[in-house]
Structure formats: C-alpha cells, structure tokens
Structure 1
C-alpha cells in the first residue's frame, strides 16, 4: 500500500506542475470569467453591499469602480486560486520530499521548490500574450505555500507531542 502512496504523491505533483504550465501558457482572454460572472451577479446589489472598497494590488487599485462587479469578483477568485493551488503544491512537494528526507529537511526544500515554482510560473507568463508576471503574485503564491507548510509543521509537532504523552 505504501508503494501506491509514493506513486500518487509523484503523480499529484506532476499534475499540479503541468496544470500550472498549461494555465500560464493561456492568454487572459481564454481564462476570462467576467462574462459568466456578469450573468450571475447584480452589480448594483454588490455595490450597495460593499460600497467603495478599494484594494491596492500590483500598483493599481482593485475596486468595483475600476473593474466592475465581474472584474472585482474575478480578481478575488483568481487570487484565491493562486493561494490554494500553491498551498496544494507545497503539500505535494512535502509529500514527495518526505519520502526521502527527514521532516527538518523536507519542509524547507518544499518551501524552496514552491517559491521557485511560483517565480518560474510568473516568469513564464511574461512570454504569454495578454499576461504579465507580477512579484505580488509570487508573494501571494508563497503565502499559500507557507500557510500549508505551517499547517504541516503544527500537525507534525502536535502529533509528536501527543505520541510522547501516550507513553
């Protein structure tokens, strides 16, 4: 059974990396969700609920006024996906590294590989039409990775402590 876990860990890592590569290779127009969001969201109702919220990101203000309801919602969906995918990527790197390294070695290598993947992913986007690579996205991706690795570390420490008290 342990052998299958190793295979699945590697397959998950490869699938995430391949998905990132394919996603970064697509122009923005192919990934644009604003048309679908427009059909589902009433802009006036959203404006009444959240008002004039404005968030600085990448040297620009992200607001309903600047982006419209669909663009505003799409921004948060995209950034949420960035965070979540890189959290999953960090988990996957950790699972692969932990098969060969100690906890104290697997965790920093997972962080390093996750952040390097984020940087290379953003760099790759600079070669794709209508896409840009942003340092802010690398930082967001790193935040997703670090969050997952903190959860892993806390779980590891908790399980070691719980195991120690059972004896």
Structure 2
C-alpha cells in the first residue's frame, strides 16, 4: 500500500494546481524580478511555438510571458513524467507495467484537462494531454533505461565477487 503514496501525492498536487486560475499561478512578476536583464533574449527570440491556434513567441507575447509558457509546459511534462514513474513503481511486479503506466498517465492527463475546463481562466486542450503524455513517455523511458543500467552493473559486480 505504501507504494501508492507518492502517486496519490502527485495526483493531489496536480488536482490543486488545476484548481487555480492562471492569475493565481502566474510567475511573470517573479521572472521580472529575477531576470531584469532578460538573459538569452536573442536565442529565445528564434522560437515560435504554435499553440492553441496562436503563435507563442517573444515577439507576440513578450519575453517574460514566453519564458513563463516554456516553464509551465516543462512543469507539465515533468509532473506527468513523475506520475508515470510513480505508476510504474506502484504496478510492480505486474507484467506490461510500462504500457499500463503510460495508458494510465494518458487517462490522468485527460482527467486533468477536463478538471481544468471547470476552472475560471484556464483552458483544456488536447495539446496539453499529448504534452503530458509525452512527458510521461520520456521520463519513464529514461527511468527504465537507468534502472536497467544499474541492474546490469549490480549483476556484473556480483559476478566478480
């Protein structure tokens, strides 16, 4: 039962986060204080990201809003990556737990977007569902590769004992 606690905590954090409006979550004022010289402005100006029918870029949104967009989307990916890993661990020793973890991560991303659709000032998009799922896929794949490397190393060390 203990193996479900990290998963439950992550789901609660996502639920609370999805319950907040954009204004409550905005980090633009913090970014303005922390990065008054707008580091990497020229580099970031090269990027134009199509999202929900608009062009998200420094030219269209401004430096701080663009940077916030990147941070928020990275946070989405990492959050659902952590959920996928927590699911993978919780599903042990079930066969095909990698696949199950990804499918459940997708379902939770759908549920999160549905929940967001009821929050004032938030939008629900299938793009975010896919972003969350890709975050789960990337993080879970990295986790399982690293896990296998450690197991191989441990096996080799036992051979030489």
TM-score normalized by the length of structure 2: 0.85
Instruction: Measure, in 1, the Cα distance between the counterparts of 2:40 and 2:140.
Output: 35
Other-structure match for 1:42 = 36
Instruction: Measure, in 2, the Cα distance between the counterparts of 1:76 and 1:108.
Output: 28
1:66 deviates by 1.3
Other-structure match for 1:140 = 131
Q: How does 1:114-133 map to 2 (within 5 A)?
A: 114-133=105-124
1:128 deviates by 0.3
Which 5+ residue runs of structure 2 have no aligned equivalent?
none
The yes-or-no answer on 1:62 pairing with 2:62 is no
Instruction: Measure, in 1, the Cα distance between the counterparts of 2:50 and 2:37.
Output: 21
Partner SS for 2:123: coil
Which 5+ residue runs of structure 1 have no aligned equivalent?
1-5
1:52 deviates by 4.3
1:53 deviates by 2.8
The yes-or-no answer on 1:20 pairing with 2:11 is no
Instruction: Measure, in 1, the Cα distance between the counterparts of 2:60 and 2:130.
Output: 23
Equivalent pairs counted in the alignment come to: 158
Conservation of the 8 A alpha-carbon contact between 1:38 and 1:69: no
Instruction: Measure, in 1, the Cα distance between the counterparts of 2:132 and 2:86.
Output: 14
TM-score normalized by the length of structure 1: 0.82
The yes-or-no answer on 1:77 pairing with 2:68 is no
1:156 deviates by 5.3
Other-structure match for 1:91 = 85
Instruction: Measure, in 2, the Cα distance between the counterparts of 1:36 and 1:18.
Output: 25
Over the aligned positions, Cα root-mean-square deviation in angstroms equals 2.3
Conservation of the 8 A alpha-carbon contact between 1:12 and 1:92: yes
Other-structure match for 2:99 = 108
Partner SS for 1:62: strand
Give structure 1 regions of 4+ aligned residues with deviation exceeding 2 angstroms: 40-53, 151-167
1:43 deviates by 6.0
